[in-house]
């Protein structure tokens, strides 16, 4: 009899010469929930009335905790100079710098994220990743994490044994200081590739309205959480 695991496996291995790279660890992104989310109240007073806070929104938390992340494995330091931001790290390695930049002309015409320097940086991540056949990985800036002092560019990579990856990013204007080890650099969402078709179905909106409970039930009785929401597992 053959054992078929219930879960899908994302295999990875860090370069053993770990110390020269500033990012080489994969974690479930649920392990990097930011402090500000934990501090949001469940109820807020709006114009004298108690209203549900952000913590009532299960889809928001699902966005924050969907998939995996690659974290910084050591502190890096950003300094602002007259020529733009300069990034420093612990150990110098000229042959394989863990962070490097490319001429901005290589992304000419591409809009830069607001309030970011137009210096085009890349994390050089020596991390081999293998996903099951038929799957792809969706990379994006950590969802709803705008407090981070950088913005990471998004992409989709298909199934192959990827030896290394470069992760383009932009630094916030005016940001100077340390970015700490453990900071999530990207959010990785594995997904099954399938053919899709969007179909306009007449009457669907009216049908949906019939099964939807009132706003009071939805909010006070956590209707979505109890009736719709499904647990997602990324270990």
Partner 1 sequence: MKFSKKTEETQILRWHSDERAVLDYKDEIRPMIEVVPKWYKDIKRWVELGENDIKPFDKSMGELDKWPTVKHCLPFFDGITTGYALVLTENIYVEQTLNGPVIRWQDNGKNRIAPVSSRPPYATDPMPAPVGYAKEHFIWQKQMVVKPPEGYSILYTHPLNRFDLPFFTVSAVVDDYIMPGANISFYIKDDFEGEILAGTPVAQLIPYKREEWKAVKDKNVLIESKHSRAPMKKLILEGWYRKNVWKKKTYR
- Of 33-52, which residues contact partner 1 (CB under 8 A)? 36-37, 39-40, 44, 46, 51
| Residues numbered 171-190 forming contacts with partner 1, rule: CB under 8 A | 172, 189-190
Placement of tokens 């969907």 in the chain: 66
Q: Which of 2, 108, 214, 216 binds partner 1 (CB under 8 A)?
A: 108
d(CA 18, CA 16): 5
Q: In terms of CB distance, is 83 or 92 closer to partner 1?
A: 83
Binding status of residue 234 toward partner 1 by CB under 8 A: yes
d(CA 119, CA 163): 26
Binding status of residue 1 toward partner 1 by CB under 8 A: no
* Binding-residue pattern over the window 64 to 83 for partner 1, x denoting contact by CB under 8 A: --xxx---------------
Q: Which of 33, 99, 122, 153 binds partner 1 (CB under 8 A)?
A: 153
Q: Which of 20, 139, 179, 183 binds partner 1 (CB under 8 A)?
A: 139
C-beta separation of 23 from 73 below 8 A: yes
C-beta separation of 124 from 95 below 8 A: no
Q: What is the DSSP secondary structure assignment for residue 154, as one 8-state letter?
A: P
Binding status of residue 86 toward partner 1 by CB under 8 A: no
Minimal distance, residue 114 CB to partner 1, in Å:
3
Minimal distance, residue 91 CB to partner 1, in Å:
20
Q: With H, G, I as helix, E, B as strand and everything else as coil, classify residue 123.
A: strand
Q: Which of 3, 82, 198, 214 binds partner 1 (CB under 8 A)?
A: 198
C-beta separation of 147 from 34 below 8 A: yes
* Alpha-carbon torsion (136, 120, 125, 180), positive or negative: negative
Binding status of residue 18 toward partner 1 by CB under 8 A: no
Question: What does residue 209 show for φ and ψ, rounded to 5 degrees?
Answer: -65, -30
């Amino acid at each position: 009899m053959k054992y078929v695991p219930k879960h899908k496996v994302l295999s990875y291995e860090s370069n053993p010469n770990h110390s020269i790279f500033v990012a080489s660890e994969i974690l479930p992104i649920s392990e990097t929930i930011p402090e500000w989310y934990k501090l949001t109240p469940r109820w807020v007073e709006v114009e004298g009335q108690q209203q549900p806070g952000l913590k009532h929104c299960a889809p928001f938390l699902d966005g924050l905790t969907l998939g995996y992340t690659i974290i910084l494995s050591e502190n890096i330091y950003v300094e602002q100079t007259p020529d733009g931001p300069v990034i420093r790290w612990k150990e110098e390695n000229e042959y394989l710098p863990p962070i490097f930049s490319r001429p901005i002309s290589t992304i000419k015409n591409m809009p830069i994220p607001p309030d970011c320097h137009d210096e085009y940086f890349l994390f050089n991540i020596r991390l081999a990743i293998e996903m099951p056949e038929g799957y792809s990985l969706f990379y994006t800036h950590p969802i709803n994490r705008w407090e981070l002092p950088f913005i990471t560019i998004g992409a989709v990579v298909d199934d192959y044994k990827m030896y290394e990856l470069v992760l383009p990013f932009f630094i916030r204007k005016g940001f100077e200081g340390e970015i700490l080890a453990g900071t999530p650099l990207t959010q990785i969402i594995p997904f099954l590739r399938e053919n899709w078709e969007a179909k306009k179905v007449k009457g669907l909106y009216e049908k949906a309205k019939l099964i939807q409970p009132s706003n009071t039930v939805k909010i006070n009785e956590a209707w979505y959480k109890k009736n719709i929401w499904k647990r997602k597992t990324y270990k």
